[in-house]
């Protein structure tokens, strides 16, 4: 049996996973990047990179989440320059002042601090697991989180 | 009495509420029957064999301006103002393309780096113009911002292992002084385009920091609060 045939036989599973996880992954990617278009690209790329090795992936949700987190980090350089060149105030996304105000501040956090905040408070991941995802010691992740919270506390009324 | 722990808890709850609410604004797009042809064209090859059509997502991200639904159909672009190569990567500076939101606004200049703009992909370019953007991301019309705003009208694009840095000048700024990694200062070449003055600076590979100062009649303009004349080339 060829790889292609193997791949074909796995396709329904991949399709099912895609349908099930695409939206949650899009939401995670959006929180990490602040851009819906970038989030879409990231999720596309995560599935595209998973496809050839799909039958060897033990835990697809964990694999795809790691992939999304890594791709979001890779994208920081591009986001840096876009923001640098065309500064705009973040647009309200919910029309709820408290939410929009907090979201604007979260978006301004340095990339790693923001990823820690999102993974901890949105994904409910423990710091040790976040450390594995971000390739950082848990103690460093704890410092990242503390710095992020200090920064947010100072900025919020 | 409110304690530190109460405050900590309130902040955490606020973060949870915020992230959940913002995430909930991301929805599945239209069904596959309504997917736009250009978006499929852009994604071709990515999910071949998956059998799932990619749904379009409304593009309302704040930071993404002028990265619209047009697709690269020709490289090199027509009528470049500047053509160059840095670290083996070709780039071009063209007249900023007018978008429907910005009719009548100055168009600025647009930088196209080949590595980010392959034929068939969405344009991934950067526009610079002088002054604070309007809420639609367009160049301002009418009142001119002070010279210090020049520090807010520049920016950089990574190209190969180097960087392209460009800016739009206030009309009174007559000198752009550049120092690469503490070396000898030199003046960047400027050029006129549709009534505005601009410059494009090549920061070669190996340079990690540089400064760009703007001068009026030999005097350095002080940067705005929060802006800086020192810049760091983003590391990989």
The rounded percent of chain A whose pLDDT value lies above 90 is 27
What confidence score (pLDDT) does residue B42 get?
Answer: 26
How many other β-carbons are positioned within 10 Å of the β-carbon of residue A61? 13
pTM of the model: 0.48
**Alpha-carbon distance B157 to B92, whole Å?**
12
**Contact assignment for A81 to B64 by CB distance below 8 Å:** no
pLDDT tens-digit readout, A32-50: 988 887 888 888 888 888 8
Residues 6+ away with beta carbon under 8 Å from A82 = B63, B64, B67, B126
pLDDT tens-digit readout, A96-107: 888 888 998 998
What confidence score (pLDDT) does residue B198 get?
Answer: 95
What confidence score (pLDDT) does residue B33 get?
Answer: 26
Task: Give chain B positions within 8 Å (CB) of A157.
Answer: none
Residues 6+ away with beta carbon under 8 Å from A15 = B50, B51, B52
**Contact assignment for A118 to B19 by CB distance below 8 Å:** yes
Residues in B 141-160 with any Cβ partner in A closer than 8 A: 152, 155-158
Does residue B77 register a pLDDT over 70? yes
Task: Give chain B positions within 8 Å (CB) of A153.
Answer: 7, 11
pLDDT tens-digit readout, B185-236: 999 999 999 889 999 999 999 998 899 999 999 999 998 776 778 887 776 5
Angle at B55 between CA B18 and CA A77, to 5 degrees: 60
Residues in B 33-92 with any Cβ partner in A closer than 8 A: 43, 46-47, 49-52, 54, 57-67
Closest by Cβ to A27, choosing from B26, B156, B234: B26
Chain B: nearest CA to A143, how far in angstroms? 15
Question: A42-45: which pairs have CB atoms within 8 A and are 24 or more residues apart?
Answer: A42/A68, A42/A71, A42/A72, A42/A75, A43/A68, A44/B43, A44/B46, A44/B47, A44/B54, A45/A71, A45/B46
Does residue B153 register a pLDDT over 50? yes
pLDDT tens-digit readout, B79-112: 899 999 998 889 999 988 766 667 788 888 888 8
Give A146's Cβ-side CA count (13 Å radius).
6
**Contact assignment for A94 to B57 by CB distance below 8 Å:** no
What confidence score (pLDDT) does residue A76 get?
Answer: 54
Does residue B70 register a pLDDT over 70? no
**Contact assignment for B19 to A18 by CB distance below 8 Å:** no
What confidence score (pLDDT) does residue B158 get?
Answer: 79
Here the ipTM equals 0.84
For residue B139, what is the nearest residue in chain A, using CA coordinates? A86
For residue A29, what is the nearest residue in chain B, using CA coordinates? B23
Closest by Cβ to A94, choosing from B21, B152, B236: B21
Mutate to test the interface with A, among B3, B10, B51, B62 (most CBs of A within 10 A): B62
Task: Give chain B positions within 8 Å (CB) of A42.
Answer: none
Q: What is the mean pLDDT of residues A13-37?
A: 88
Mutate to test the interface with B, among A37, A79, A100, A119 (most CBs of B within 10 A): A37
């Amino acid at each position: 049996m060829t790889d292609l045939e193997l791949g074909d036989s796995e396709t329904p599973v991949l399709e099912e996973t895609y349908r099930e996880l695409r939206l949650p992954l899009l939401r995670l990617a959006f929180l990490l990047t602040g851009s819906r278009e970038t989030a879409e690209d990231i999720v596309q790329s995560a599935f595209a990179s998973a496809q050839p090795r799909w039958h060897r992936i033990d835990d697809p949700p964990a694999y795809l989440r790691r992939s999304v987190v890594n791709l979001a980090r890779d994208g920081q350089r591009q986001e840096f320059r876009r923001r640098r060149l065309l500064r705009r105030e973040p647009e309200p996304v919910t029309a709820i002042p408290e939410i929009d105000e907090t979201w604007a501040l979260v978006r301004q956090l340095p990339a790693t601090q923001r990823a820690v905040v999102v993974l901890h408070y949105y994904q409910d991941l423990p710091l040790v697991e976040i450390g594995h995802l971000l390739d950082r010691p848990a103690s460093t992740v704890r410092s990242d989180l503390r710095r992020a919270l200090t920064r947010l506390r100072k900025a919020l009324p | 009495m409110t304690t530190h722990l109460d405050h900590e808890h309130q902040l955490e709850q606020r973060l949870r509420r915020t992230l959940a609410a913002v995430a909930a604004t991301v929805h599945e797009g239209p069904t596959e029957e309504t997917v736009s042809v250009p978006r499929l064209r852009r994604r071709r090859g990515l999910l071949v064999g998956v059998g799932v059509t990619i749904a379009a997502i409304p593009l309302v991200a704040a930071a993404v301006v002028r990265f619209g639904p047009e697709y690269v159909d020709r490289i090199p672009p027509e009528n470049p103002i500047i053509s160059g190569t840095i670290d083996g990567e070709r780039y071009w500076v063209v007249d900023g393309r007018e978008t429907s939101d910005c009719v009548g606004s100055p168009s600025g200049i647009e930088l196209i780096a080949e590595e980010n703009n392959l034929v068939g992909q969405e344009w991934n370019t950067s526009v610079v113009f002088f002054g604070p953007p309007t809420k639609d991301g367009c160049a301002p019309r009418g009142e001119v911002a002070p010279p210090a705003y020049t520090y807010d009208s520049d920016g950089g694009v990574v190209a190969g292992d180097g960087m392209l840095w460009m800016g739009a000048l206030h009309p009174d700024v007559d000198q752009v002084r550049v120092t690469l990694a503490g070396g000898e200062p030199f003046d960047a070449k400027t050029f006129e385009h549709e009534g505005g003055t601009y410059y494009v600076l090549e920061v070669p590979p190996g340079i990690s920091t540089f400064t760009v100062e703007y001068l009026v009649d030999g005097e350095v303009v002080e940067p705005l609060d929060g802006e800086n004349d020192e810049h760091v080339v983003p590391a990989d």
